[in-house]
Amino acid sequence: MAKIIILGADGQLGSDLVKVLADSSHQVVPLTRDNFDALDSLAVSKFEQYGDIDYIINCVAVTNVDGCEDNVHDAFSINTSFALKLAMFCAAHDITLVHLSTDYVFDGNKTTPYQENDLAAPLNIYGLSKYAAEVGISTYTTKHFILRVSSLFGVAGAAGEGGNFVTTMLRLAREKDSWTVIDDQITCPTHTLDIARAIVALINQQVTEYGIYNCVSSSSCSWYQFTQDILTMCGFDKNKVQPISYREYKFKALRPQYGVMAVDKLAKYYQMPTYQVALKEYLDLKFAE
């Protein structure tokens, strides 16, 4: 049995981790903003009160990619500095750190799936803040797992408030006859429940092959294709959505147009499902609520 702290336990991924670990024999300490503020310089040292800890899983982040361009301070304070302080704390207390990163560490110029050791070249502040955390964590502590995830959907929704890309598309399907979605940005939409299961698999198998792991669905699509799948699975006409190009959309922050990541390394410990299987399970859970 391991003692595990979950930081950001009420977020989209954090809440699925709490659910998956509730069915385990591990002792879980779920912490939210009510218990600590990542912007507090003493936040990390306060974790000593929880005694001998085996794992800290850091789901805390600023995830608003365009917002990070305007709020560089919070992006680096929470996504980078807090993660580095955690890494130092974990090294000093012999704790394994599980940290979440992103496909946005890449520039998207490849045309075949990114491997863990491909060169990072972030295009925006969010990606840079997450990549800086990766470098800092691997510098300061050996016992770490950095899981690169992408395009998350989970029952709790972003920041635990119910919303994500899937719920937005379903709202548009109810409200509109037609709308546009990007067809030339390729990603691996991933259910947070599958990431939670992968993390628990690493813990249960007491894996010591530390380092970076890609942790995304094992199939990929454009956002437009993903929307068509969502509409079809929920009984809407998939032709309500029209394709638009990335260039026409005009995001504030640049994004990688190709964010597909290979999951062969993780498959030794956990086999990620295709996004189609993951979406079906998510919809079943969401509408059973």
Ligand X SMILES: NC(=O)c1ccc[n+]([C@@H]2O[C@H](COP(=O)([O-])OP(=O)(O)OC[C@H]3O[C@@H](n4cnc5c(N)ncnc54)[C@H](OP(=O)(O)O)[C@@H]3O)[C@@H](O)[C@H]2O)c1
Write the binding mask 159 to 178 for ligand X: x where contact by CB under 6 A, - elsewhere: xx------------------
Q: Does residue 182 belong to the site contacting ligand X (CB under 6 A)?
A: no
Q: Which of 6, 59, 125, 241 binds ligand X (CB under 6 A)?
A: 59
Site residue total, ligand X (CB under 6 A): 25
* Identity of the residue, 160 or 243, whose beta carbon is nearer to ligand X in the bound complex: 160
Backbone dihedral angles phi then psi of residue 119, each to the nearest 5 degrees: -70, 125
- 8 Å CB contact between 51 and 100: no
Q: In sequence order, what DSSP letters do the residues of 51-95 get, joined into one string? A: -S-SEEEE------HHHHHH-HHHIIIIIIIHHHHHHHHHHHTT-
Measured over the CA atoms of residue 87, residue 89, residue 94 and residue 95, the dihedral's sign is: negative
Q: Which of 6, 78, 95, 181 binds ligand X (CB under 6 A)?
A: 78
Binding to ligand X (CB under 6 A): which residues in 92-131? 100, 102
Q: Which of 6, 38, 181, 221 binds ligand X (CB under 6 A)?
A: 38
Q: In sequence order, what DSSP letters do the residues of 106-152 get, joined into one string? A: S-S--SSPBPTTSPP--SSHHHHHHHHHHHHHHHH-SSEEEEEE-SE
Q: Does residue 8 belong to the site contacting ligand X (CB under 6 A)?
A: yes
Closest among 207, 220, 188, 211 to 270, alpha carbons compared: 207
Q: Does residue 196 belong to the site contacting ligand X (CB under 6 A)?
A: no
| Rg from Cα positions in the chain | 18
Write the binding mask 247 to 286 for ligand X: x where contact by CB under 6 A, - elsewhere: ----------------------------------------
The residue behind tokens 């979440």 is 100
Q: Does residue 29 belong to the site contacting ligand X (CB under 6 A)?
A: no
CB of residue 167 to ligand X, shortest distance in Å: 13
* Identity of the residue, 27 or 35, whose beta carbon is nearer to ligand X in the bound complex: 35
CB of residue 128 to ligand X, shortest distance in Å: 13
182 is written with which tokens? Answer: 């990007």
CB of residue 215 to ligand X, shortest distance in Å: 10
Measured over the CA atoms of residue 245, residue 246, residue 248 and residue 249, the dihedral's sign is: positive
**Judged by CB under 6 A, which stretch of 114-122, 144-152, 197-205, 227-235 contacts ligand X?**
144-152
Distance CA 265, CA 68 (A): 30
**Judged by CB under 6 A, which stretch of 22-30, 33-41, 44-52, 218-226 contacts ligand X?**
33-41
Q: Does residue 149 belong to the site contacting ligand X (CB under 6 A)?
A: yes
For ligand X, the binding residues (CB under 6 A) are 8, 10-14, 33, 36-39, 59-61, 63, 78, 100, 102, 149-152, 158-160
